[in-house]
Amino acid sequence: MTVVRIGIVAGELSGDYLGAGLMRELRRIYPDVQFEGIGGERMVAETMDSFYPMETLSVMGLAEVVRHLPTLLRIRRHLVRRFCANPPDAFIGIDAPDFNLGLEHRLKQCGIPTVHYVSPTVWAWRQGRVKIIRRAVDRMLSIFPFETDFLLRHGIPTTFVGHPLADSIAMQPDQTAARHCLGITSREPTVIALLPGSRMSEVTRLGPVFLATAQWLVRHHHRLEFIIPCATAAIQSLLHTQIQTQAAGLNIRLFFGQSTDCLAAADAVLLASGTATLETLLHKRPMVVAYKVAPVSAWLAKRLIRTDYIAMPNLIAKRPLVSEFVQHQARPDLLGPAILRLLTEPAHTAELRQAFTTIHQQLRCNANHQAAQAVAKLLATKYEVKG
């Protein structure tokens, strides 16, 4: 076989993590493999040629997407022209379905085998997209078992690979070691991790709410310390400003990155809905989930979403394991008591940890290896057809 070239596009931090792991495993199979497309720091570190900064694609919500739509369409047209003019052996779109599915459809029409890693939430809303997926995707790589069943029922070739985070996070994270890494001693107060999001728009909306919730908590519980991991320098700067203007008197420490240590060190977590809820589950930390988007995005989602939950632990368990508060319910007088319950009801938190452990075991499947093997099988089929 000649040197394998793979096009690959990830649109946010979680996709960068998934892509880097998949790339490492593919290199074990194809030592001289070449990757090109769009990725973040982790993927670039795996010798990927990234044509654009990944942050260019990191927009969410109807209002935000509309504002950036001309740029997104221009980038997608460029990728189509480039890949169709010089076809890679396969293309892998990682999450970002609104961007990647359209790209995959065009590339598949050019004869390029396509893989989509992380199923779009068609089981929750916009189920008509299953038709688009069937036209665009040769192989779906699913990270959750409940979505695999849905996709197979709708005739979409799907492989359940599990989740890389379930492989990398210990079944029993070491809280003492994590606190030591953050400079927190066992004699210090109860620790609450605040994760208002990995996007500027999320932190702009939820940062002030989370800080107000922290103020509520210190009035109802003694000796609290708050820690906040920051995904980017820009988010760290924004949070620093929010703290200075709204919560200067609170015991809050910001960390650049270190989300894994912050979660492992925490006694409870208040966080935005998203990938971090899964990471919190895998760390077996009791949590409260909140989310706010632009009003027009919320209006649209309310009419389209066909699931009762937004938090991944609840979606996986198919029951309300963790408390979640959306839009106008994401306010301190509701979030505060929900966090306080996690600190004062040990039987409840023990039940949560047991449920989280069961889910962790279900998702621990050596995902990077499974995903790479699925891509390799698709490539083998391509070369068999050529032969």
DSSP structural state of residue 60 = -
Average pLDDT over residues 292-304: 55
Q: What is the dihedral of CA 359, 164, 13, 119, to 10 degrees?
A: -70
pLDDT, residue 1, reads 53
Q: How far is CA 312 from CA 143, 228, 315, in A?
A: 12, 21, 5
Confidence of residue 231 (pLDDT cuts 50, 70, 90): confident
pLDDT, residue 149, reads 84
Pairwise pLDDT comparison (86 vs 297), residue with the higher score: 86
pLDDT, residue 126, reads 59
List, in order of start, the domains of the chain with CATH numbers. 5-162+365-386 (3.40.50.2000), 170-363 (3.40.50.2000)
pLDDT, residue 387, reads 42
* Dist. CA 200–CA 58, nearest whole Å: 10
Tokens at residue 17, please?
Answer: 């993590």
Rounded to 10 deg, the angle between the 129-136 and 97-109 helix axes is 40
State the average pLDDT for the chain: 89
Tell me, rounded to whole angstroms, the distance of Cα 62 from its chain centroid. 18
Q: Which amino acid is at 219?
A: R
50-69: per-residue pLDDT in tens? 999 888 876 554 445 556 67
* Dist. CA 306–CA 121, nearest whole Å: 10
Which residues are CB-neighbours of 283 under 8 A, at least 6 positions away?
169, 173, 260, 263, 264
pLDDT, residue 300, reads 47
| Percent of all residues in the chain with a pLDDT value above 70, rounded to a whole number | 89
181-219: per-residue pLDDT in tens? 999 976 678 999 999 998 888 999 999 999 999 999 999
pLDDT, residue 65, reads 55
pLDDT, residue 317, reads 87
| Percent of all residues in the chain with a pLDDT value above 90, rounded to a whole number | 68
128-180: per-residue pLDDT in tens? 678 889 999 999 999 998 888 888 988 999 999 999 999 999 999 999 999 99
* Dist. CA 191–CA 179, nearest whole Å: 9
100-124: per-residue pLDDT in tens? 999 999 999 999 999 999 988 765 5
- Among left, alpha and beta (phi > 0; psi -120 to 50; other), residue 257 is left
Q: Which amino acid is at 355?
A: A
**Other Cβ atoms within 10 Å of 214 Cβ, number:** 25
pLDDT, residue 310, reads 76
- C-beta of residue 231 within 8 angstroms of C-beta of residue 225: no
34-44: per-residue pLDDT in tens? 999 999 999 99
Nearest to 297 by CA among 142, 67, 40, 103: 67
H helices of the chain, in order, are: 13-29, 41-45, 62-85, 97-109, 129-136, 145-153, 164-168, 175-182, 200-220, 233-246, 259-265, 275-282, 295-304, 312-317, 332-344, 346-363, 367-386
* Dist. CA 361–CA 167, nearest whole Å: 9
DSSP structural state of residue 170 = -
Is the confidence at residue 242, as pLDDT, over 70? yes
Which residues are CB-neighbours of 28 under 8 A, at least 6 positions away?
372
**Other Cβ atoms within 10 Å of 170 Cβ, number:** 11
